[in-house]
Amino acid sequence: MTQKTLPVHDFDPVYGPVTSWRFGRSLGIDAIGPISTCPFNCVYCQLGDIQHKTTQRQVFVSTAHIQQSLKRIDPATVDVVTLSGSGEPTLALNLADIITCAKAQLDRPVVVLTNGSLLGNPAVRSALQVADQVAVKLDALSDEMLQGVNRPTTELNWRSIVAGIKEFSSTYQGELALQTMLLSPWNAGKQAEYIQLIKEIMPDEIQLNTPSRPRARTRQLEARGNRVMAIGSPNLQPLKCVDLQTLQNFAVEIERCTGILTRYPQLKQA
Ligand code: SF4
């Protein structure tokens, strides 16, 4: 069944606040709009299959539109503002303006969640400088893993993405977190490769995660927040995940080897 897509002017780019284990009460700003757009199409993406896979930057939602939507928000209900939403926020050409506008209106720290695919672009690295925290996805340790988990556009490869992340890390003045999603336990060799990469990137924090809910197969606008679809829906696809103990053990090992704070969700597991 084809889903109806909202015209941009009917689209509300502000959602939540939603409760996040990483950020507390997080108000979301969706700089991408009603059509999910990203250079990746991750196998676990809660948006379902990405509708527009691209690395082309453009203005998707005007800063004025976002500014208008933010007027209804009481800053007292918000701990942090997060740019994520319907795809990759660094695709938005007005990213720096949106961050500046959110900070001026709400006086809260702004976090950008990015998959890191555009960090090789100096304009993207420069736009992110105004964010208080940038959390960069790093799920893969090779091209093969990148293709299997993140399924990027053809012009992207693992080596150039990692080079972009390292370049960003060397200049970014805010807090840099790396986010890694584990779909299955990593063997000792992969763990050692990951720890070596961490030592080269030197983020301020690492956030390990694993899928905690099934994935929608097709676009669900409400998947920007915390809402969960009814279990048993044919639109839901179960995902592989790792248990809490595995995440915890890996987190302890990363901290032991790098000294970098490594967090993971307190999953409610049966
Ligand atoms: S990078 Fe994020 S938005 Fe893009 S496909 Fe992966 S999970 Fe979805």
Percent of the chain topping pLDDT 90: 79
35 burial via Cβ count (<10 Å: 0-12, 13-18, 19+): middle
In this predicted structure, what is the pLDDT of residue 226? 56
The yes-or-no verdict on residue 135 having pLDDT over 50 is yes
**Mean pLDDT of the 150-164 span:** 98
Residues 6+ apart with CB under 8 A from 25: 16, 17, 18, 19, 77, 78, 79, 80
- Yes or no: say if 95 and 31 are a contact pair by the CB < 8 Å rule: yes
pTM assigned to the model:
0.91
The mean per-residue pLDDT over the stretch 256-265 comes to 96
Which is the closest atom of ligand 1 to the Cα of 117?
1
Is the minimum distance from the CB of 50 to ligand 1 under 6 angstroms?
A: yes
The model's pLDDT over 75-119, given as tens digits with 9 standing for 90+, comes to 999 999 999 989 999 999 999 999 999 999 999 999 999 999 999
With a 6 Å cutoff on the Cβ, whether 87 touches ligand 1 is yes
The finding on whether 118 has its CB within 6 A of some atom of ligand 1 is no
221 band by pLDDT with thresholds 50, 70 and 90? low
Residue nearest to atom 6 of ligand 1 (CA): 42
All domains of the chain, ordered by start, with CATH? 8-263 (3.20.20.70)
* pLDDT given for residue 64 in this prediction: 97
Q: In terms of DSSP bridges, do strands 110-114 and 133-137 run parallel, antiparallel, or are they unpaired?
A: parallel
Q: Among 165-179, 214-228, 255-269, which range has the highest average pLDDT?
A: 165-179
